[in-house]
Amino acid sequence: MTFSIKKLTMAIAAAGILGVAGLTTNNNNDNGTVQAATAGDVATVSWSGDAIQVFSDASSSASVVNYLPTASSWKVMETKTDANGTAWYKVANNQWVMASLMADGYSVSQATSNTSDAQKVIDLAKEQLGKPYVWGAKGPSSFDCSGLMYYLFQNALGRNIGGWTVPQESAGTQISVNDAQPGDLLFWGGRGATYHVALYIGNGQYIHAPKPGDVVRTATLSGYFYPSFAVRAI
């Protein structure tokens, strides 16, 4: 389940969009025409590489704050055109991507008519990107790692999986990290003594609340900080 991030040869600006990953945009508008995404629509990463950069502002000179994997789909929060005439989509708080790297948009109702329980949790997780880490916080404006997982399952599915990592270990069936699927929980540390938890979203990536001073963000599985085990809770 390896996933390599390739540096793009062009800078892209951060577009604030809420995620609806795993969807496809196949241009099935009622009138058969292609249209650019507007706020509230869903757009899909169409870049031919592994991922695109996400920037802190709608400018190619802004700092890179995240990556979006190819073929993942996101709800556009806002659109903007910079002084050079380049269009940008906003993916989350202070996160922008270049519109030219996204497939054209569709309404959320078209894109999510058959949304699975796992996708509901993932979609809600993407809405939290950019919110600050606060120890013990369970949302909606800030989170710690286990508080984020509690919030996602409680609000997306109406399920109480426990408020910290150890009870969350028992939210489902333990599996190998190599067998993880989107919507599974990832844990760091031995069972009964875990110290971190995240939500696997596919393509070797997960969403988590990392540490004090940081924000809810996506990260890529790596040997440097690799989960100990996973739990299938859905």
Over the stretch 109-161, which tens digit does the pLDDT of each residue have? 444 434 589 999 999 999 999 999 999 999 999 999 999 999 999 999 999 99
* Complete domains list, the chain, with CATH: 17-111 (2.30.30), 117-232 (3.90.1720.10)
Residue 29 has pLDDT above 90, yes or no: no
- The rounded distance, in Å, linking the Cα atoms of 36 and 100 is 10
Cite the beta strand spans of the chain per DSSP E: 17-19, 41-44, 51-55, 64-69, 73-76, 78-81, 87-92, 95-98, 106-107, 173-175, 185-188, 196-202, 205-208, 217-220, 229-232
- The rounded distance, in Å, linking the Cα atoms of 182 and 125 is 12
Mapped onto helix, strand or coil, the DSSP state of residue 82 is coil
- Where residue 105 falls among pLDDT bands split at 50, 70, 90? low
Buried b (16+ CB within 10 A) or exposed e, 212-233: eeebbbbbbbeeeeebebbbbb
Out of 31-35, 78-82, 178-182, least confident range:
31-35
Reported as half-sphere exposure (CB side, CA atoms, 13 A), residue 21 has a value of 26
Residue 180 has pLDDT above 80, yes or no: yes
Mapped onto helix, strand or coil, the DSSP state of residue 32 is coil
User: Which amino acids are annotated catalytic?
Assistant: 145, 196, 208
How is residue 59 annotated by DSSP?
A: S
At residue 132, the pLDDT reads 96
Question: What's the mean pLDDT when you consider all of the chain?
Answer: 80
- Which position has the higher pLDDT, 20 or 174? 174
- Where residue 104 falls among pLDDT bands split at 50, 70, 90? low
- Where residue 44 falls among pLDDT bands split at 50, 70, 90? confident
